Structure 1
């Protein structure tokens, strides 16, 4: 989260195909979109969106990855994009549902649609946190992980620390009172359930990502994850500066983490890169990610 509110993009892309419909716990549903590309040995990327961002927003980046012979699947998180119902007092959930139901089902779609192909997860912002929660529960679901502008919201990872702490706790408090976070009206994160915002606000306050599964409340064992990870810090990204990204990847004590900084001035590839621009104007970033993923999942 930024030290100032930032508008969340909601435009739905036109460069992706409908892939599958998924049923969610409690009678909800969501949609998986993406593009098929590559052959039997080429990787498949599961792109996990940022908070409040529709799957189709990533259309240009998905198309750019497909041009590199990488198949891509993106699912709308519950209540985002084409997914229904939206968050409310009755439709409440946290990290566990997003991780177990949506990411788990998307992995199953990938295995069925692209049998035998290596799978990598790419988490954008909140999507990277969800990827870690899922991988901690099911390490075999992916062979590699890319984090793009994805970090910990812990207040100590930001320059304006006290302001950030106050903002994150305000989100949790508003969600508790209203029964959901009305981010679609307030300019941050889209409409989100109170349980998720409670977990996220606690993450921002304490630095540990405590996931609620029934009566169990604990941070997953991120330190046990053993896989290659590419962590990309983006220029002009107040939502996930280097301190924030470090705060997340430092939990991956057994992973093989490579940290890169991505900068691009405004020019022929579009506007200067930031927390959201890369998805609509990927430039060379898709080729860089595809090259890393291909090397990371190659045998030997």
Structure 2
């Protein structure tokens, strides 16, 4: 797949207002990230956790984090195990799955936010798989507001029809084959993604429409007898972009269906709605969209509502799968 906006930009350097941190995941794995914290605590000020896309470094979201900080939020960004600030010395043999990224790594960020910002509301931004991770933490009931962008868990039939066969070959055939050969997916050398743990690749490439059909989803269901998505009772805004081949209406609605107790709004934006020819899967968080797309997420975090002049259209809940 060769789309101009099909891959993340080179990782940005967090600005001088951010501070690096290390936090053990729920199982003790060391995670790295960055905090944007205002000098004086204020229980009225929300703290936002940003969940990255699969194998995209948290530094990709640094400018967006700084934008939220400048608009009155405290912010946490972090890398899942195996990626960026949380990468071990060797990727071979690393046990990490999508469920680990949500149930262990994201859960640790929820706990950190409660500890480091006591009494403050907790909001979440989830990009791509990061929106799914937002439903996998056991403490999901503490999330006040949730914004997802292009969020889904890669069911191949939900990919945009014009890209579906090529994407299936790339992500569901070639990626697992290279992972089998290397012990992990060497995405960085290919210029596709950051290097990706083998367990994450197994989850991504398994062709099932149900999250509990993914290898680590099955284990989570077998262990607890349930998936924790229903713990999230947040006001949730799902943003999908018209030319995003991953985050189609079907893919977005498939994931939204798991958030059974959340108050859900699905906003579909075509590039032409904001005067652009293309946006794609990754560009939302680039500073070029600070004036057009970022205020949508900001307003939702501030008010739990869409502004009257918000571009795009709401997808009726009757289209839910």
Q: TM-score, normalised by structure 2?
A: 0.78
1:133 counterpart SS class: coil
- CA-atom RMSD in angstroms: 3.2
Deviations along 1:223-274, one digit per CA (max 9) or x if unpaired, are 564332100112432232333222221333332111113355699x999633
Unaligned runs of 5+ in 1: none
Runs of 5+ consecutive residues of structure 2 not aligned to the other structure: 306-321
The equivalent position to 2:72 in structure 1, one of 69, 74, 79, is 69
Task: Give the 3 Å change call, closer, same or farther, for CA 151–57 of structure 1 in structure 2.
Answer: same
Q: Which residue of 2 aligns with 1:47?
A: 50
> Which one scores higher on RCO, CA 8 angstroms, separation ≥ 6?
1
Partner of 2:316: none
Q: Which moved more, 1:72-81 or 1:32-41?
A: 32-41
1:156 and 2:162 are equivalent in the alignment: no
Aligned mates of 1:58, 1:111 — CA distance in 2: 22
Moved more, 24-33 or 225-234: 24-33
- Tell me if 1:102 matches 2:105: yes
**Residues 87 and 193 in structure 1, CA contact (< 8 A), matched pair in contact too:** no
Partner of 2:312: none
Does residue 91 of structure 1 match 2:94? yes
Scaled by the length of structure 1, what TM-score is found?
0.83
When residues 39 and 235 of structure 1 are mapped into structure 2, their CA distance, relative to the original with a 3 A threshold, is: farther
1:165 and 2:171 matched: no
Aligned partner (choices 193, 197, 210) of residue 197 of structure 2? 193
Describe how 1:207-226 pairs up with structure 2 within 5 A. Answer: 207-210=209-212, 216-218=219-221, 220=227, 222=229, 225-226=232-233
3-state SS of 1:102 partner: helix
In 2, the alpha carbon distance for the partners of 1:215 and 1:233 equals 27
Taking the aligned partners of 1:264 and 1:271, their CA distance within structure 2 comes to 6
Give the structure 2 partner of residue 280 of structure 1: 286
Instruction: State the aligned residue count.
Output: 291
Q: How far apart in 1 are the matches of 2:28 and 2:177? A: 28
Quick one: distance in 2 between partners of 1:214 and 1:265? 37
Shift, 1:78, TM fit: 1.4
CA contact (8 A) 1:24 1:101 kept: yes
Question: Quick one: distance in 2 between partners of 1:113 and 1:145?
Answer: 20
1:141–1:212: structure 2 CA closer, same or farther, 3 Å change rule? farther
Matches of 1:278 and 1:215 in 2, distance apart? 32
Does the Cα contact within 8 Å between 2:127 and 2:149 map onto a contact in 1?
A: yes
Residue 75 (structure 1) shift: 0.7
Match of 1:31 in 2: 32
CA separation of 1:111 and 1:209: change in aligned 2, threshold 3 A:
same
How far the C-alpha of 1:42 sits from its partner, in A, is: 2.1
